[in-house]
Amino acid sequence: MSISYSKDILRIPHSFLGSTLNPNVDIFEKLSVSKRRVVTNQRGWRIPPNRSSSTYSSNILLMGCSWAEGVCEDWENTIAGRLEYLTGENIVNIGVASYSPLQAIRRLESEISYINPKIVLFIYPSLTDRLVKLSAIRSIAYRPIFHIQNSDANLIIKESIPIEPDIYNAAWSSAQNIRLGKSSRYDESFLEIVRLYTLFKNQYHRRYISRILGIKRSNIPPIYDIQKRIERDYRKSILKRCFSKLQSLAVSHNFKTVVLPCSHQIITEPQPRVKFDFDFFKQSFPASFDRIFYIDFEHVQKYILSYLRENNLEEWQIVNNIFAPDHNHPNAKGYQLIADIAYKYILESNLYK
């Protein structure tokens, strides 16, 4: 009899997506900073606890990473929950924590025919490191990432290879114990062994061997050190490939995509740095992508400044006001602000009535 993933596990590996949410679970996820209830349907979408798991169709679809999924909060306090309040409609949420743009768009490709939305809201982490960063889920699952072929410098996608469910189940349990401060020496040792097994299974053994032998990074082929070596032009090429696929899906399924770059850096980094990230992203897809609408830096800053005025806050106070204690994910107020920014933009642009 085959062994499946335990139903007390929220995140599982996936050969095409890298990782996804475990379908048909209803659990309280314990994080170091919060505890939230997470319910998923048959396809692994996060849904409200009181909604039928067979409800698929929606005019608005939410996709992206942990901010889209709604990490740290119950459904009603997430972006999806706020959008349901604003629109009076069911929102389909296919966001998954730790996703890169490649993973998010692959997830959309897999799910779009079930939903047939008019608007796809893509909550996108503005920095691009996840496009070339391997590990996810405590390094016991890997993302599909872009590589540069050594011979001709062409970009290729290196697919992930999941480890076996029984090993993953045990590794997840050890990782949770460590996260919650309840770990033993066994948990730490076992998790390290599984991480090495995942590394070797995905054929990144040269990276490990080179580290053991003390070989400097500069002597490792680019395929094993891509995140540090990749040039800006390659990052633009990667984003263009991702958003070419998004444009193609939008045309074939007749929806419009609203992209909202969101990250902690929008609030905490100096403005020139964040504006640079926004501008770099915007330059990465051409005007011919007429199905993709981009909420730019100026729009985001306008709404944030308005929020500060309405709540009588100084800029230095906003982090503690709208972020969870981990200072990486929004709290209920932060998710509400993001949803409001997206909703106002969609209305002002006449994309939705």
Which residue among 229, 253, 276 closes a domain? Answer: 229
* Beta bridge mates, 147: 156
pLDDT of residue 299: 82
User: Of 229, 250, 282, which one is at a domain's C-terminal end?
Assistant: 229
Same domain, 144 and 221: yes
Residues 213 and 162 in one domain: yes
Domains: count for the chain: 2
CA 135 to CA 348: how far, in whole Å? 39
Q: Is the pLDDT of residue 261 over 90?
A: no
Residue 232 has pLDDT above 90, yes or no: no
Q: 348 and 266: one domain?
A: yes
Could you list the residue range(s) of the whole structural domain that residue 138 is in? 133-229
Please report which confidence band the pLDDT of residue 227 belongs to, taking 50, 70 and 90 as the band edges: very low
Boundary (domain end) residue, out of 174, 200, 229: 229
Q: What is the per-residue pLDDT for 103?
A: 94
* Domain identity same for 204 and 117: no
Pairing type for strands 35-40 and 18-21 reads unpaired
Q: Give residue 168's pLDDT.
A: 96
Domain identity same for 120 and 259: yes
Residue 307 lies in a domain: yes
Residues forming a β-bridge with 156? 147
Confidence of residue 216 (pLDDT cuts 50, 70, 90): very low
179 and 269 in a single domain? The answer is no
User: Listing from the earlier edge strand, what are the strands of the sheet with 46-47?
Assistant: 26-30, 35-40, 46-47, 91-93, 60-64, 119-124, 256-261, 292-294
Q: Hey, how many other C-beta atoms are within 10 angstroms of the C-beta on 312?
A: 7
| Confidence label for 262 from pLDDT (cuts 50, 70 and 90) | confident
Whether residue 224 is predicted with pLDDT greater than 50 in this model: the reply is: no
- Please indicate, yes or no, if residue 47 is contained in any of the structural domains: yes
Q: Residue 226: is its pLDDT beyond 60? A: no
Q: Are residues 35 and 169 in the same domain?
A: no
Lowest mean pLDDT among 68-82, 88-102, 109-123, 306-320: 306-320
Report whether pLDDT(297) > 80.
Answer: no
Residue 7 placed within a domain: no
- Give pLDDT tens digits for 56-105: 889 999 999 999 999 999 999 999 999 999 999 999 999 999 999 999 99
- Sequence-ordered alpha helix ranges (H) in the chain: 66-69, 79-87, 101-115, 165-179, 185-201, 205-213, 226-229, 232-253, 265-268, 271-282, 297-310, 318-322, 332-348
- Interval 243-251 mean pLDDT: 94
Tell whether 56 and 117 lie within a shared domain. Answer: yes
What's the predicted TM-score (pTM) here? 0.88
How far apart are alpha carbons 38 and 75 in whole angstroms? Answer: 8
Kindly list the distances between the CA atom of residue 11 and the CA atoms of 19, 42, 101, 137, 171, in Å, as whole numbers in the listed order.
7, 14, 18, 8, 12
Does residue 74 belong to any structural domain of this protein?
yes
